C-alpha cells in the first residue's frame, strides 16, 4: 500500500473558514426551440431517493428535458469573501504568486472528463472574489452520473522557490466544493428508441449486453423499441415527453417487467439485489435502483407486473383517453 507525500501547503479546514467560501444553488437550463429554458427539478424524487445536499437528481418536473435530445447547461456561482488569506504566511501561495479556480468534471458512466478555467487572481485583489461559470454539454454526451469539483490551483508560481509552497503551475491546492449530478430523469432512465420494422410488432425489447455488472444501461445494450412502421404507432407517437400517454405507460411498464425478469435470471442477480459489485451507470445499478427506490416486488412475476404498473402510473399520471 502506497501513500502520496506532499511537501507543499494545501487548503485545510481552518483556511477554508478564513476565506469565507459561499455558494449559490446550482441552476440548470437547456435549449428548447432556440430559447433557453430553465430546468425545474422534481423535488419529491430527490427527497424519496434520500440524496444529500451535494447530490442533484436531474429530473425535469415538466418531463420536457431529455439528455438524448437536449443540451444541458450547469451554472455555478460562488464567492470567496476574503481571498487575500490564500496568500502569504498562512496561505497556500506566496505573495507574488497567482492562483486560479477551475471546474473539474468527470463522468465514469459516460467515459468523459474535462476541466474549465473560471478565474485567476493574485494578492492585489480587493474585496470579495466572485466565481461564476457555466458548463455546457451537448445532447447525448452524458448519462448516469456526473461529478463536478471546484478546485483551487497554482496558476503562476513565485519567481523565487519558497520552501513549503507549490512551485509547479497547475498544481491542485485544494477542492473547495463539489456536486454530484444523477442524470436519471424519465427519458434518460429508460433507453427508448424508434425503429422502422414493417414486420415487427408495435414494441419489443432487445438485449445486447455481455455483463450486467459493467455494461451501461443504454440503448446499445438494452432497448425498448417503438416501431414507427406499425399501423398503431400514431397512438404512442414515440415522443418521450408524452410519458403520460396511457398506451405508452403500458408499453414501458411491460417492457420494464421483461427487462427485470431477464436480469434477475443472471448469475449476478443476488449481488444486484444486495447492491454489490456493479459499476456506476451499469444495467445492474439501474435494476438495483428501480427495485429498491420504487419498491418493486420481485417475489413473483404477477407481483412484479402489478408493482411496476402501480408505481409507474402513480408517477407519470396514467390518465385515461
Q: Which residue has the higher pLDDT, 86 or 232?
A: 86
| Burial bucket for residue 312 (CB in 10 Å: 0-12, 13-18, 19+) | buried
Q: Which residue has the higher pLDDT, 143 or 289?
A: 289
Per-residue pLDDT reduced to its tens digit, 288-309: 988 988 889 999 999 999 999 9
Tell me what pLDDT residue 66 has: 82
Which of 106-115, 130-139, 157-166, 200-209 is predicted with the least confidence, judged by mean pLDDT? Answer: 106-115
Tell me what pLDDT residue 321 has: 30
Given a cut of 70, whether residue 120 has pLDDT beyond it is yes
Given a cut of 70, whether residue 46 has pLDDT beyond it is no
Mean pLDDT along residues 17-26 = 96
Mean pLDDT along residues 21-42 = 91
Per-residue pLDDT reduced to its tens digit, 49-89: 555 688 888 878 777 888 878 999 999 999 999 999 999 98
Three-state DSSP at 280 gives: coil
Mean pLDDT along residues 111-140 = 94
Tell me what pLDDT residue 6 has: 67
Q: How far is CA 5 from the centre of its chain?
A: 32
Three-state DSSP at 143 gives: coil
Given a cut of 60, whether residue 10 has pLDDT beyond it is yes
- Angle CA(14)–CA(178)–CA(215) in degrees, nearest 5? 145
To the nearest whole percent, how much of the chain has pLDDT over 90? 55
110 vs 91: CA distance, rounded Å: 37
Three-state DSSP at 13 gives: helix
Tell me what pLDDT residue 186 has: 40
Q: Which three cell numbers stand for residue 49?
A: 431517493
Q: Which three cell numbers stand for residue 301?
A: 412475476
User: What phi and psi, each to the nearest 5 degrees, are found at residue 37?
Assistant: -115, 130
- In which residue ranges of the chain is CATH 2.70.50 found? 13-185
Confidence tier at 37 by pLDDT (50, 70, 90): very high
pLDDT, the chain, mean:
86
Tell me what pLDDT residue 47 has: 52
Confidence tier at 185 by pLDDT (50, 70, 90): very low
- Angle CA(68)–CA(71)–CA(73) in degrees, nearest 5? 140
pTM score, whole prediction: 0.62
Its CATH class, for the domain covering 13-185, is mainly beta
Given a cut of 80, whether residue 44 has pLDDT beyond it is no
To the nearest whole percent, how much of the chain has pLDDT over 70? 88
Q: Which distant-in-sequence residues (6+ apart) come within 8 Å of 119 by Cβ?
A: 100, 101, 129, 131
Given a cut of 80, whether residue 109 has pLDDT beyond it is no
Q: Which three cell numbers stand for residue 79?
A: 464567492
Mean pLDDT along residues 177-189 = 69
Amino acid at each position: 500500500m502506497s501513500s502520496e507525500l506532499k511537501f507543499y501547503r494545501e487548503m485545510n479546514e481552518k483556511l477554508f473558514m478564513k476565506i469565507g467560501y459561499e455558494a449559490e444553488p446550482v441552476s440548470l437550463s437547456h435549449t428548447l426551440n432556440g430559447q433557453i429554458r430553465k430546468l425545474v427539478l422534481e423535488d419529491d424524487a430527490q427527497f424519496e431517493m434520500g440524496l444529500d445536499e451535494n447530490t442533484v437528481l436531474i429530473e425535469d418536473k415538466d418531463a420536457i428535458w431529455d439528455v438524448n435530445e437536449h443540451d444541458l447547461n450547469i451554472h455555478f456561482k460562488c464567492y470567496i469573501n476574503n481571498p487575500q488569506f490564500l496568500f502569504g504566511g498562512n496561505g497556500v501561495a506566496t505573495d507574488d504568486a497567482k492562483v486560479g479556480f477551475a471546474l473539474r468534471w468527470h463522468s465514469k458512466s459516460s467515459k468523459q472528463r474535462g476541466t474549465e478555467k473560471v478565474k485567476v487572481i493574485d494578492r492585489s485583489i480587493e474585496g470579495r472574489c466572485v466565481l461564476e461559470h457555466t458548463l455546457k454539454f451537448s445532447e447525448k454526451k452524458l448519462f448516469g452520473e456526473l461529478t463536478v469539483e471546484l478546485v483551487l490551483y497554482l496558476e503562476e508560481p513565485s519567481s523565487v522557490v519558497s520552501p513549503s509552497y507549490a512551485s509547479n503551475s497547475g498544481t491542485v491546492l485544494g477542492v473547495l466544493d463539489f456536486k454530484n449530478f444523477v442524470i436519471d430523469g424519465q427519458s434518460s432512465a429508460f433507453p427508448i428508441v424508434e425503429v422502422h420494422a414493417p414486420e415487427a410488432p408495435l414494441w419489443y425489447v432487445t438485449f445486447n449486453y455481455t455483463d450486467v455488472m459493467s455494461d451501461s444501461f443504454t440503448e446499445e445494450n438494452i432497448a425498448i423499441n417503438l416501431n414507427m412502421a406499425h399501423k398503431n404507432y400514431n397512438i404512442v407517437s414515440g415522443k418521450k415527453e408524452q410519458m403520460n400517454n396511457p398506451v405508452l405507460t403500458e408499453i414501458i411498464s411491460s417492457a420494464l417487467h421483461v427487462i427485470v425478469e431477464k436480469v434477475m435470471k443472471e448469475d449476478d442477480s443476488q449481488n444486484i439485489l444486495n447492491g454489490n459489485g456493479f459499476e456506476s451507470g451499469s444495467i445492474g445499478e439501474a435494476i438495483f435502483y428501480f427495485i429498491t427506490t420504487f419498491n418493486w416486488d420481485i417475489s413473483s412475476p404477477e407481483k412484479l407486473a402489478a408493482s411496476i404498473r402501480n408505481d409507474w402510473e402513480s408517477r407519470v399520471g396514467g390518465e385515461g383517453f
